[in-house]
Structure 1
Amino acid sequence: MTKRRILYFSCLAVLLCQSGITFYLPMLPAIANDLNATAEFAALSLSLFLVGMGVCVMLWGRLGTTLGSGRMLTWTLLLYGCCTLLLAASPVDWAFLALRLLQGALAGGISVAARALLVEQYDGKDLTRAYSSLSLCFVLSLGASQFIGAMIATLTNWRMAMLLVALPCVLMATVKGLDVAAQHRVLTRRIGERPHLHKLIVQPRFILPVLAGGFGYSIIVVFSSTAPLLFQQSFNWSMWEYGLLGWPISIAYLLGTRLASTLATGHNEVMMLRFSSALLLLGALIMLIASSLLKNSAYAIWLPYCLMLVAQGMAYPVSLSLASRQSTGAASPAMALIALVHQLLAALTNLISSSVGTSPTVLVMLCAGLASLAWLATRANP
């Protein structure tokens, strides 16, 4: 299988696993009502998914080294599809939440394996561009899948929407996954080597780009978990209206990833990361000022958020590329370490958000704080 086909397969796998975060968000009120869930159900359903992604990533890193990234991607994608099928049949809220935890763990395996495949196949500016392509799938899961989820749930119900995520996962794993696992070859320089993770975690050139990308990722997670209820309750939006917001969100992130892919040369990534983090902070400051002046306007929140997504679309693939270059061993453990840091940051931020309540002020302050931390991380990067 060619590098391009491996890239396509990895991107589609990430698209399907990341849809576990955003696809069902417009349906959350309907799911909670159908399962007679408590008021904390919405926050728990996303938090457990993120916890599952973070808890098992180091295990996925070890398995990726032992089994190979291709095989691990195939099996985790198949199991993710089966888990989503069970979600569609959940009879009670506790079963739904337990399956969300398992689904998150499997999504973490997909994410680690897909990134490792790219590291094993690409280097330099090509790696940054490959990560930009991977980010395009994050774009679609971020916005377009949210819109599709709202449309399907409006026309049918949330259980049918879940089925439409599960079936492609199972089909891809059985038809294309075996081909990837059989034909994928790890680069010779990666075989049998294990990176020293304790050395990586204290290396500024590794951990600072990881933190910069993780703080930006946390902004997206907090906004995605808070905005559905916030916009429907505080601004009287319908589920359909919130689903439509997925398009400008997708376009904004798409623009950022295209800029990263176009401008990356293999030598200017540090400068690009600093610029994108400054743009992220600018978007947060605009959101802060606009929301204080226009307290009853949803535009004051989501339009600056789109600017922040342009910045994060640039920052995320660049930060992954910079961090990946610091590891000379097998790709899976290093990718697992990056995923662990990102998921811990996202889960912690989402926990803080859910504990202090849902309000425009809390959302804006969290976005501003996280953007400031991302900017500081890039300024400290040597």
Structure 2
Amino acid sequence: MKSSTTLLITCSTVFLAQLGMSIYLPALLEIARNLSADSSQVAWGLAVYLIGMALPMLFWGSLGQRIGRKPVLIAALGIYGLGNLALPLGTTLESFLVLRLIQGIGASGISVMARVLIRDSFSGDQLAKALSWLSISFVVALGIGQYLGSIIQVALGWPAIFHLLGGVSLSMAVVVARIAFASRTEQVIPSSSWASYWQTLNHRDFLLPALAGGLGYGVIIAFNTAAPLILQGPFKWSPVEYGLLGWPISTAYFLGALVVNSLVLRAGGHRLMKIGVSLVLAGSAVMLVASVTAISVALLFWLPYCFAVFGQSLNYPISLSLANDGAPVGGAYAMALSGFMHQLMAAAIGAIASLIASQQAWPLSLLCTLLALGAMICVMLSRVTPRS
């Protein structure tokens, strides 16, 4: 019963944290007009959010190990909720970016504690299955969040997007305060948190799967950063039309997560991860070819991306599970470190995507292809059987 409750709560909180990445994207151009800023400058809000998610992750992991998972999760939800409520009050680009950073800091704690709570309740192959549900929450937030944001923008205006997100986050903190979570006996660990992180980072069986997951994640981040300018630029999509793209994206990720749930015990994690990364690479490569030879056909830009998303939905939960199984140190450290790596990589990739963002699709497609190629190299170099 506790495991089911933990899964429900963690999926809900991850959904809220990841909404911060996608729900405002259809309103990006309107926010830019409101702040009297260029849309490419406002697009930096995603990179700043990811920086906020990345930087404190190791701190959140250490804090959760010392004082417990629940109080840290409540604090993170509070920071995230208040940051959302405050964001519409800003009137300058600088205030927008600062509050996006605060949002990201809160989302960082939510993400770390959700994964650690899942790890406390599940192990082995069941851990990969449970993490696939977190992946579903992640992509539903990315996909459906776009559509939800577009509807709220049209009906109530863009500030309502952040008001709603902030109110729900604070309500979730109240719910979490009333839940009793499962605990897990930890193995002996080094005396210093930083020693634990360093020992884990230097372990091949942790590092390679974690890098494969992070590079595939970067494909999604890059697309979310630059795609609004492309699809609402030369393709002249409206905010609602861009929001509707969230449905096929979410469907692709949902189907992939179901495949992990159904087949990981029979097919093996490493095999499924290799298939997933191959699909990410193939989808990105088709995007690149299409953007060079048929830029006027929007279908040849977003449909291959959906195949890449399907592949990443296979790759990501398995990469987290294999990295955790391969880590030499127990406790919250492996999950916190993998989250830190992924968000730091995502922040860097988001920044690169912001710098190359234009109304041409080929720079984004090239970046996605290179990221997928890097993920494939990591998978090929990793061991077939994770270290137990």
* Residues 52, 102 of structure 1: 8 Å contact kept: yes
2:292 counterpart residue number? 292
SS of the residue corresponding to residue 265 of structure 1 reads helix
Q: Bigger CA drift: 183-192 or 279-288?
A: 183-192
Between the aligned partners of 2:188 and 2:147, the Cα distance in structure 1 is 42
Per-residue deviation, 1:346: 1.3
* Residues 196, 333 of structure 2: 8 Å contact kept: no
- Describe the shift of the 1:134–1:5 C-alpha distance in structure 2 as closer, same or farther (beyond 3 A): same
Per-residue deviation, 1:158: 0.6
1:355 counterpart residue number? 355
Between the aligned partners of 2:196 and 2:315, the Cα distance in structure 1 is 25
Q: Which TM-score applies when normalising by structure 1? A: 0.95
Per-residue deviation, 1:140: 1.1
Between the aligned partners of 1:136 and 1:276, the Cα distance in structure 2 is 15
* Residues 153, 161 of structure 2: 8 Å contact kept: yes
Per-residue deviation, 1:191: 8.2
* Residues 49, 104 of structure 1: 8 Å contact kept: yes
SS of the residue corresponding to residue 91 of structure 1 reads coil
Cα offsets for 1:32-79 (capped at 9, x unmatched)? 111212454223211111111111111111111111122211221122
Q: Are 2:299 and 1:302 equivalent residues in the alignment?
A: no
Q: Which TM-score applies when normalising by structure 2? A: 0.94
1:273 counterpart residue number? 273
Cα offsets for 1:196-218 (capped at 9, x unmatched)? 32222122211111111101100
* Residues 65, 330 of structure 1: 8 Å contact kept: no
* Residues 129, 264 of structure 2: 8 Å contact kept: yes
SS of the residue corresponding to residue 43 of structure 2 reads helix
Between the aligned partners of 2:182 and 2:140, the Cα distance in structure 1 is 29
* Residues 37, 93 of structure 2: 8 Å contact kept: yes
Between the aligned partners of 1:192 and 1:79, the Cα distance in structure 2 is 30
* Residues 127, 321 of structure 1: 8 Å contact kept: yes
Between the aligned partners of 1:339 and 1:95, the Cα distance in structure 2 is 27
Per-residue deviation, 1:349: 1.6
Counterpart residue type for residue 25 of structure 1: L
Between the aligned partners of 2:39 and 2:116, the Cα distance in structure 1 is 39
1:211 counterpart residue number? 211
Gaps (5+ residues) in structure 2?
384-388
SS of the residue corresponding to residue 265 of structure 2 reads coil
Q: How many residues align?
A: 379
What are the residue-to-residue correspondences of 1:114-125 with 2, within 5 Å?
Answer: 114-125=114-125
What are the residue-to-residue correspondences of 1:84-103 with 2, within 5 Å?
Answer: 84-103=84-103
* Residues 280, 311 of structure 1: 8 Å contact kept: yes
Cα offsets for 1:213-271 (capped at 9, x unmatched)? 10110010110011111111121111111011010010011111111111111881111
Between the aligned partners of 2:27 and 2:264, the Cα distance in structure 1 is 38
Q: Are 2:178 and 1:179 equivalent residues in the alignment?
A: yes
What are the residue-to-residue correspondences of 1:2-151 with 2, within 5 Å?
Answer: 2-151=2-151
Per-residue deviation, 1:92: 2.6
Per-residue deviation, 1:330: 4.3
SS of the residue corresponding to residue 288 of structure 2 reads helix
SS of the residue corresponding to residue 235 of structure 1 reads coil
Q: Are 2:369 and 1:368 equivalent residues in the alignment?
A: yes
Q: Are 2:334 and 1:334 equivalent residues in the alignment?
A: yes
